[in-house]
């Protein structure tokens, strides 16, 4: 269980539950539509977004190059989804609702079929952009707009939390305030951010009580330092514009800029905890193949920082349990990427451990620039690639070269970079970074699926499992478990193209609503200043 440092949320949740529960605050349909429209307009208008847009472009253009395109050189929906999902997972650790992992299913249900409107946000953005291209897929610029819009949407949500943080601390949103107040507001904001959907944005007493309680904890210092650093960075950036001899004052816009940095940087910041947990897990893996015997997994003593308490059923459902040998083992990379390590389930996303494997694949995409590649060239490239646990250069074993060759044979001569078989191969090349690609029911990989289910093991069962003796290690080279089922994640299936049309027709209705929303929706930003902190009637989160 992903615990301690930043998981102040656990204060109220019982141990072993998924931290970001889905209950609590919900958001009205019209608000989702309005937020989305708002976010998209802001991006298309280019409000202060050009720096971010350039940033996003630098991070995605090479992947875009490497993905298969349609006959007019654009990206089809599956490719778009892959690109956007992988960007958020590796840059922010954000698992965007509606862009959930596909579980290596050939027939992924369409995001458009999602039952909850906020899960449709990515699909809506995509469709709006598709409509501009007469449904012929997305160009690079469209994909960047889509990413920037989703980032914006998520940031706008943070903005609501910032307003609540001002109110809770009795700080005025008009004029300027001194630094101490900004620190108070930002720590409140971070607390609300971590509480995600469970947070209460109206009950000031409750908030103050909770804040008083968590600020007693040792790990509060880390949170405090995070916001202090952000304020320092902000001051530094503004230095040229302000008088160094005057104590700095902060407007609401200043706080809002700082919060934008906090929201964008949160995933990377919190990932240090994922790394510590990974180090702990790797200590339990004596032969370095990325798997831990269950006896050791459950056998951590209670005074260590991390104890792992997820049930066998959970591990099996998310594909982290390796049952191929005579003893069960837990796959480190599948476990780390699993939903029990995600936090702060907000309206549009959860924050999970950053995906190192997406980063590695990204490196390959950049070097290759095409959807398929010659196996021997690929082998040389991978032999030259390091990760947090693999040093270079290295000579991969002969059977790995043969596997790569057989993947190419199975796919007409080249290895598809975005297929299940290459993912499987990558797992064996980087067992601590790349999850084994089980074919799973996709929904088991999402935090919302587990929100109201029991994840943890009973204490007695845990001690029983902990006493499972690990087998004697033999030093012979091990056979790897290999499944030769290929699934091409970014290839459009025939069936899919008709369903794209169908869902676009369905969406037309929603889009009409969306367009109607323009005009009667003022941006949150512009509403704040004149309303003197009064909660705007238009924007209501039903409690």
Ligand X SMILES: *[C@@H]1O[C@H](CO)[C@@H](O)[C@H](O)[C@H]1NC(C)=O
Query: Is 202 a residue that touches ligand X (CB under 6 A)?
Result: yes
> Which is closer to ligand X, CB of 202 or CB of 402?
202
Strands (E), 317-362: 321-322, 329-331, 349-351
What whole-number distance in Å separates Cα of residue 104 and Cα of residue 418? 11
Max CA-CA distance within the chain? 73
Residue 164 C-beta: closest distance to ligand X, Å: 11
Of 91, 146, 97, 131, the residue nearest 265 (C-alpha): 91
Residue 453 C-beta: closest distance to ligand X, Å: 21
- What DSSP assignment string belongs to 250-304? EEHHHHHHHHHHHHHHHHHHHHHHHHHHHHHHHHT-TTSSSEEEHHHHHT--TTS
> Which is closer to ligand X, CB of 396 or CB of 510?
396
Spell 198-208 as b/e; 16+ CB within 10 A means b: bbebeeeeebe
The conformation of residue 478, written as its DSSP 8-state character, comes to P
Query: Is 384 a residue that touches ligand X (CB under 6 A)?
Result: yes
> Which is closer to ligand X, CB of 377 or CB of 495?
377
Residue 381 C-beta: closest distance to ligand X, Å: 6
Contact set for ligand X, span 278-307 (CB under 6 A): none
Query: Is 543 a residue that touches ligand X (CB under 6 A)?
Result: yes
In contact, 425 and 324? CB cutoff 8 Å: no
> Which is closer to ligand X, CB of 214 or CB of 381?
381
Among 110, 203, 257, 261, binds ligand X (CB under 6 A): 203
Residue 320 C-beta: closest distance to ligand X, Å: 33
The radius of gyration of the chain's CA atoms, rounded to the nearest angstrom, is: 24
> Which is closer to ligand X, CB of 200 or CB of 491?
200
Residue 542 C-beta: closest distance to ligand X, Å: 9
| x-marked contacts with ligand X along 148-187 as a string, rule CB under 6 A | ----------------------------------------
Among 55, 65, 105, 200, binds ligand X (CB under 6 A): 200
Residue 390 C-beta: closest distance to ligand X, Å: 14
In contact, 425 and 403? CB cutoff 8 Å: yes
Spell 215-247 as b/e; 16+ CB within 10 A means b: eeeeebebbeebbbebbeebbeeeeeeeeeeee
Residue 438 C-beta: closest distance to ligand X, Å: 31
What whole-number distance in Å separates Cα of residue 34 and Cα of residue 40? 10
| x-marked contacts with ligand X along 215-234 as a string, rule CB under 6 A | --------------------
Q: Which range in 285-293, 306-314, 357-365, 378-386 contacts ligand X by CB under 6 A?
A: 378-386
Q: Which range in 68-76, 161-169, 195-203, 521-529 contacts ligand X by CB under 6 A?
A: 195-203
Query: Is 453 a residue that touches ligand X (CB under 6 A)?
Result: no
What whole-number distance in Å separates Cα of residue 306 and Cα of residue 276? 9
> Which is closer to ligand X, CB of 482 or CB of 543?
543
Residue 534 C-beta: closest distance to ligand X, Å: 18
Dihedral, CA of residue 190, residue 347, residue 106 and residue 138, to nearest 10: -90
> Which is closer to ligand X, CB of 70 or CB of 200?
200
What whole-number distance in Å separates Cα of residue 120 and Cα of residue 115? 8
Other Cβ atoms closer than 10 A to 106: 15
Query: Is 25 a residue that touches ligand X (CB under 6 A)?
Result: yes
3 state SS of 533: coil
What whole-number distance in Å separates Cα of residue 90 and Cα of residue 45? 27
Q: Which range in 271-279, 291-299, 358-366, 377-385 contacts ligand X by CB under 6 A?
A: 377-385
**Number of residues in contact with ligand X, rule: CB under 6 A?**
9
In contact, 2 and 340? CB cutoff 8 Å: yes
> Which is closer to ligand X, CB of 139 or CB of 201?
201
Among 132, 136, 208, 380, binds ligand X (CB under 6 A): 380
Q: Which range in 131-139, 197-205, 275-283, 441-449 contacts ligand X by CB under 6 A?
A: 197-205
What whole-number distance in Å separates Cα of residue 527 and Cα of residue 161? 15
In contact, 404 and 378? CB cutoff 8 Å: yes
Residue 67 C-beta: closest distance to ligand X, Å: 22
Q: Which range in 167-175, 196-204, 291-299, 435-443 contacts ligand X by CB under 6 A?
A: 196-204
Residue 252 C-beta: closest distance to ligand X, Å: 24
Q: What is the number of alpha carbons within 13 Å of residue 348 lying toward its C-beta?
A: 24
What whole-number distance in Å separates Cα of residue 11 and Cα of residue 4? 10
In contact, 390 and 415? CB cutoff 8 Å: no
Ranked by CB distance to ligand X, the top (closest) residue is 203
Q: What's phi and psi for 286, nearest 5 deg? A: -75, -30
What whole-number distance in Å separates Cα of residue 118 and Cα of residue 125? 12
The conformation of residue 8, written as its DSSP 8-state character, comes to G
Query: Is 540 a residue that touches ligand X (CB under 6 A)?
Result: no
Residue 198 C-beta: closest distance to ligand X, Å: 8
Query: Is 24 a residue that touches ligand X (CB under 6 A)?
Result: yes
> Which is closer to ligand X, CB of 24 or CB of 265?
24
Contact set for ligand X, span 302-331 (CB under 6 A): none
Residue 392 C-beta: closest distance to ligand X, Å: 7
> Which is closer to ligand X, CB of 387 or CB of 506?
387
Length of the chain (residues):
543
Interface residues with ligand X (CB under 6 A)? 24-25, 200, 202-203, 380-381, 384, 543
């Amino acid at each position: 269980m992903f615990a301690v440092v930043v998981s102040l949320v656990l204060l109220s949740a019982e141990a072993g539950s998924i931290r970001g529960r889905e209950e609590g605050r919900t958001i009205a349909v019209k608000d989702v539509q309005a937020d989305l429209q708002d976010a998209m307009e802001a991006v298309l208008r280019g409000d202060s977004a050009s720096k971010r847009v350039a940033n996003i472009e630098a991070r995605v253009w090479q992947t875009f190059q490497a993905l298969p395109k349609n006959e007019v050189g654009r990206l089809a929906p599956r490719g778009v989804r892959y690109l956007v999902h992988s960007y958020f997972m590796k840059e922010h650790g954000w698992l965007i609702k509606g862009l959930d992992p596909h579980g290596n299913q050939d027939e992924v249900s369409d995001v458009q079929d999602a039952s909850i409107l906020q899960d449709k946000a990515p699909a809506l953005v995509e469709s709006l952009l598709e409509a501009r291209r007469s449904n012929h897929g997305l160009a690079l610029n469209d994909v960047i707009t889509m990413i920037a819009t989703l980032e914006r949407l998520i940031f706008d949500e943070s903005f609501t939390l910032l307003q609540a943080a001002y109110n809770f601390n009795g700080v005025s949103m008009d004029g300027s305030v001194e630094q101490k107040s900004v620190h108070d507001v930002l720590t409140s904001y971070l607390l609300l951010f971590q509480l995600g959907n469970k947070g209460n944005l109206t009950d000031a007493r409750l908030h103050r009580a909770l804040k008083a309680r968590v600020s007693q904890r040792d790990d509060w210092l880390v949170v405090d330092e995070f916001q202090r650093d952000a304020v320092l960075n902000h001051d530094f950036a503004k230095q040229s514009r302000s008088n160094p001899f005057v104590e700095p004052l902060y407007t609401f816009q200043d706080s809002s800029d700082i919060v934008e940095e906090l929201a964008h940087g949160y995933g990377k910041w919190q990932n240090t905890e994922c790394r510590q947990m990974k180090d702990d897990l790797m200590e339990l893996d004596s032969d370095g193949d990325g798997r831990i015997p269950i006896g050791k997994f459950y056998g951590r003593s209670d005074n260590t920082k991390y104890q792992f308490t997820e049930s066998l059923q959970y591990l099996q459902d998310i594909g982290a349990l390796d049952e191929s040998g005579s003893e069960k083992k837990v796959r480190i990379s599948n476990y780390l990427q699993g939903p029990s390590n995600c936090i702060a389930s907000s309206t549009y996303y959860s924050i999970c451990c950053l995906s190192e494997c997406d980063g590695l694949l990204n490196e390959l995409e950049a070097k290759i620039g095409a959807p398929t590649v010659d196996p021997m060239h690929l082998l040389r490239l991978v032999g030259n690639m390091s990760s947090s646990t693999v040093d270079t250069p290295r000579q991969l074993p002969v059977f790995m070269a043969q596997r790569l060759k057989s993947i190419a044979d199975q796919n007409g001569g080249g290895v598809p970079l975005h297929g299940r078989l290459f993912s499987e191969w990558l797992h064996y090349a980087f067992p601590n970074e790349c999850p084994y690609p089980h074919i799973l029911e996709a929904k088991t990989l999402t935090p919302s699926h587990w929100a109201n289910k029991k994840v943890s093991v009973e204490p007695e069962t845990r001690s029983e499992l902990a006493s499972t003796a690990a087998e004697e290690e033999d030093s012979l080279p091990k056979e790897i478990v290999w499944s030769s089922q290929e699934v091409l994640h970014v290839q459009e299936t025939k069936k899919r193209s008709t369903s794209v049309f169908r869902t676009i027709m369905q969406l037309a209705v929603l889009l009409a609503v969306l367009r109607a929303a323009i005009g009667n929706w003022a941006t949150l930003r512009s509403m704040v200043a004149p309303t003197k902190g009064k909660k705007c009637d238009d924007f209501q989160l039903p409690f």
